């Protein structure tokens, strides 16, 4: 290959080995510069997001820009605290001694981002890696080309290019990056590419974090507040035109309240996007023609009861709800990642729980119920990357909750302190005093010593 990836990786490793990324002052400066980059170039980045995804201005600001600055401000506030050694107790056999865990950076980190939230899902893990003291290679998605190009221009202007590099490009560049030896690889995307990333990492025994996806279910119990439920499901589903890894993928609703829920859902869509969502400035578009064609095909898996309209020129698909969906249909066999919501009925919470547990662990799970026993049953008997009760998406907005998947939906979690820890090694250090040096610890091992060992060990 003829790209410049290898020299970039080598240069960043030399910078890391020099110790330049370790001082907290350097880390703080890079984080502050990242905020400045977003603030001073807000209009350019929002325009890029609109070009790539038809992303509404307010939505782009909230989900891509403000989300990142909020995370970074938390890192700056806690930078010293999170990077201090942590004292731990020392057992009697080590005495006289003191023990601690010293957080240290891993080295040179690779962050590969997806196209659906191309600012947030690149910069939050990058900021975490910087706060942890690493050098970083950033790889934005070539699919969100306008945003990739904007970041490609801005990152070298604001961040220390000797330690932080952005590599644009497609499969060729990503393949060459994966051939390099990194100290951690952070990938957000689909499971197919996740397996390629993991296979490449094996060659160097590089640890990986995989933020994948899956079919995130919504359970609606008969005790749920249906009007509120419908609004919150509609918001979570049709944000970014459904192109969100934790978007509600399908609904399991108690058959006794299905029709009422659908009525409220239709009203919520009209409230949010008007009678014609195509004309709404608050509703996005599908990223590429290929994804558009795939989603139009998936709509044929059921009967549209809301929406079902598509327009290829603008890659527009209306907020769509389908019923009469077979559980083995295409729309129930793959992650939808678009504005189509299958609604299936259940007769009991047990049925919903069994339906979910028979499938791969989802990245997110949502349960709506006023009955606390129902909620507890779902939490106790299902496994998922994260859960929001009586809401959607919001568990990932709390920096005190690590965000990540399990099984097919990924491995490893980040955000807040969890994100910084992800890119660090907590080095155990035991320091012994020399004023005392009890001879009991050394041979010869007499019967008397053996008796003492049995008492204290």
* Cα-to-chain-centroid distance, residue 271: 29
Return the exposure string of 433-452: e unless at least 16 CB atoms fall within 10 Å of the residue's CB, then b: eeeeeeeeeeeeeeeeeeee
Q: What residues contact 327, with CB distance under 8 A and at least 6 apart?
A: 344, 355
Question: For the chain, how many structural domains are there in total?
Answer: 2
Based on the domain organization, do 245 and 202 belong to the same domain? no
Based on the domain organization, do 232 and 122 belong to the same domain? no
398-439 pLDDT tens trace = 999 999 999 999 999 999 999 999 999 999 999 999 988 888
Based on the domain organization, do 53 and 90 belong to the same domain? yes
286-333 pLDDT tens trace = 999 999 999 999 999 999 999 999 999 999 999 999 999 999 999 999
Return the exposure string of 362-389: e unless at least 16 CB atoms fall within 10 Å of the residue's CB, then b: bbbbbbbbeeeebbebbeeebebbbbbb
Question: CA triplet 218, 377, 263: central angle to 5 degrees?
Answer: 30
Q: What residues contact 228, with CB distance under 8 A and at least 6 apart?
A: 390
Report pLDDT for 441.
Answer: 82
pTM over cut 0.85: yes
Catalytic residue of the set 59, 245, 335, 417:
245
Query: Nearest to residue 334, comparing CAs of 368, 301, 304?
Result: 301
Query: What is the biggest distance separating any 2 CA atoms in the chain, rounded to whole angstroms?
Result: 89
Question: Do 339 and 238 meet the contact criterion of CB atoms below 8 Å apart?
Answer: yes
Instruction: Tell me the C-alpha distance between 298 and 325, whole Å.
Output: 11
Report pLDDT for 2.
Answer: 41
Instruction: Tell me the C-alpha distance between 151 and 145, whole Å.
Output: 10
**How many CA atoms, within 13 angstroms, populate the side-chain half-sphere of residue 39?**
10
Task: Identify whether 94 is part of a domain.
Answer: yes
Task: State how beta strands 403-404 and 316-317 pair.
Answer: unpaired
Based on the domain organization, do 347 and 421 belong to the same domain? no
Burial of 104 (0-12, 13-18, 19+ CB in 10 A): middle
Question: CA triplet 146, 148, 152: central angle to 5 degrees?
Answer: 115
Report pLDDT for 436.
Answer: 87
Q: What residues contact 133, with CB distance under 8 A and at least 6 apart?
A: 21, 22, 27, 83, 104, 105, 424
Whether 59 is catalytic: no
Task: Identify whether 434 is part of a domain.
Answer: no
Give the structural domain span for 145: 5-212+409-429
* Strand boundaries in 288-339, DSSP class E: 303-306, 310-311, 316-317, 320-323
How many CB atoms neighbour CB 162 within 10 A?
A: 15
Secondary structure of residue 337 in the 3-state scheme: coil
Based on the domain organization, do 74 and 138 belong to the same domain? yes
| Torsion angle of the four alpha carbons 179, 180, 182, 184, in this order, in degrees rounded to the nearest 10 | -20
What are the Cα distances from residue 308, in Å, to 296, 297, 322, 379, 399?
9, 11, 8, 33, 37
Task: Identify whether 141 is part of a domain.
Answer: yes
Task: Identify whether 444 is part of a domain.
Answer: no
Based on the domain organization, do 180 and 280 belong to the same domain? no
Task: Identify whether 435 is part of a domain.
Answer: no
Instruction: Tell me the C-alpha distance between 354 and 150, whole Å.
Output: 46
pLDDT per residue, tens digit, the chain (457 aa), is: 345 788 999 999 999 999 999 999 999 999 999 999 999 999 999 999 999 999 999 999 999 999 999 999 999 999 999 999 999 999 988 888 999 999 999 999 999 999 999 999 999 999 999 999 999 999 999 999 999 999 999 999 999 999 999 999 999 999 999 999 999 999 999 999 999 999 999 999 999 999 999 999 999 999 999 999 999 999 999 999 999 999 999 999 999 999 999 999 999 999 999 999 999 999 999 999 999 999 999 999 999 999 999 999 999 999 999 999 999 999 999 999 999 999 999 999 999 999 999 999 999 999 999 999 999 999 999 999 999 999 999 999 999 999 999 999 999 999 999 999 999 999 999 999 998 888 888 999 999 999 988 888 8
Instruction: Tell me the C-alpha distance between 155 and 141, whole Å.
Output: 15
Paired residues of 320 in beta bridges: 340
Token pair 């970074």 in the structure block, residue: 72
Catalytic residue of the set 176, 211, 335, 417:
211
Task: Identify whether 205 is part of a domain.
Answer: yes
Whether the upstream peptide bond of residue 105 has omega within 30° of 0, thus cis, is no
- The residue count for the chain: 457
Paired residues of 219 in beta bridges: 252, 367
Secondary structure of residue 36 in the 3-state scheme: helix
Provide the edge-to-edge strand list for the sheet that holds 364-368.
303-306, 320-323, 340-346, 250-254, 217-220, 364-368, 386-389
CATH code where residue 28 lies: 3.40.605.10
Based on the domain organization, do 249 and 206 belong to the same domain? no
Whether 245 is catalytic: yes
Based on the domain organization, do 78 and 117 belong to the same domain? yes
Task: Identify whether 36 is part of a domain.
Answer: yes
Task: Identify whether 386 is part of a domain.
Answer: yes
Based on the domain organization, do 105 and 31 belong to the same domain? yes
Q: SS3 breakdown of the chain: % helix, strand, coil, rounded to 5?
A: 45, 20, 35
Based on the domain organization, do 288 and 174 belong to the same domain? no
Q: What residues contact 359, with CB distance under 8 A and at least 6 apart?
A: 215
Based on the domain organization, do 158 and 111 belong to the same domain? yes
CATH code where residue 243 lies: 3.40.309.10
Based on the domain organization, do 302 and 393 belong to the same domain? yes
Q: Quote the DSSP letter at residue 249.
A: -
Report pLDDT for 1.
Answer: 34
Instruction: Tell me the C-alpha distance between 390 and 368, whole Å.
Output: 4
Q: What is the DSSP string of 113-132?
A: --SSSTTHHHHHHHHHHHHT
Report pLDDT for 3.
Answer: 53
């Amino acid at each position: 290959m003829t790209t410049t990836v290898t020299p970039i990786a080598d240069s960043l490793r030399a910078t890391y080995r020099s110790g330049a990324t370790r001082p907290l002052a350097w880390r703080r400066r890079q984080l502050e510069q990242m905020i400045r980059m977003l603030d001073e170039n807000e209009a350019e980045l929002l325009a890029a997001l609109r070009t790539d995804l038809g992303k509404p201005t307010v939505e782009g600001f909230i989900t891509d820009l403000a989300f990142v600055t909020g995370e970074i401000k938390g890192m700056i506030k806690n930078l010293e605290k999170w990077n201090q050694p942590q004292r731990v107790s020392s057992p009697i056999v080590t005495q006289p001694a003191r023990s601690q865990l010293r957080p240290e950076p891993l080295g040179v980190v690779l962050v590969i981002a997806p196209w659906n939230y191309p600012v947030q899902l690149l910069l939050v893990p990058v900021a975490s890696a910087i706060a942890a003291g690493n050098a970083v290679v950033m790889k934005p998605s070539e699919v969100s080309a306008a945003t990739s190009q904007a970041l490609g221009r801005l990152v070298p202007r604001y961040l220390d290019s000797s330690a932080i590099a952005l590599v644009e490009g497609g499969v060729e560049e990503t393949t060459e990056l994966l051939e390099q030896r990194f100290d951690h690889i952070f990938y957000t995307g689909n499971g197919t590419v996740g397996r390629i990333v993991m296979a490449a990492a094996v060659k160097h025994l590089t640890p990986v974090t995989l933020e994948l996806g899956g079919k995130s279910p919504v359970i609606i119990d008969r005790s749920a507040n249906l009007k509120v439920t419908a609004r919150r499901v509609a918001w979570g589903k049709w944000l970014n035109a459904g192109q969100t890894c934790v978007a509600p993928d399908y609904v399991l609703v108690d058959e006794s309240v299905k029709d009422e829920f659908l009525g409220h859902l239709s009203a919520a869509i009209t409230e949010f996007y008007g009678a014609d969502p195509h004309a709404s400035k608050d509703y996005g578009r599908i990223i590429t023609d290929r994804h558009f064609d795939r989603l139009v095909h998936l709509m044929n898996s059921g009967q549209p009861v809301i929406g079902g309209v598509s327009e290829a020129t603008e890659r527009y698909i209306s907020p769509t709800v389908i019923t009469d969906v077979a559980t083995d249909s295409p729309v129930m066999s793959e992650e939808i990642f678009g504005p189509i919501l299958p609604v299936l009925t259940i007769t009991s919470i047990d049925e919903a729980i069994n339906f979910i547990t028979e499938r791969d662990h989802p990245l997110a799970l949502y349960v709506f119920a006023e009955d606390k026993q129902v909620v507890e049953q779902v939490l106790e008997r299902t496994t998922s990357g994260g859960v929001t009760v009586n809401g959607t998406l919001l568990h990932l907005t709390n920096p005190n909750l690590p965000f990540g998947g399990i099984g097919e939906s990924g491995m490893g979690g980040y955000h807040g302190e969890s994100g910084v820890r992800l890119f660090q090694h907590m080095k155990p250090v035991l320091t012994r005093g020399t004023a005392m040096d009890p001879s009991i610890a050394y041979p010869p091992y007499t019967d008397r010593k053996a008796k003492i060992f049995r008492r204290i060990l």
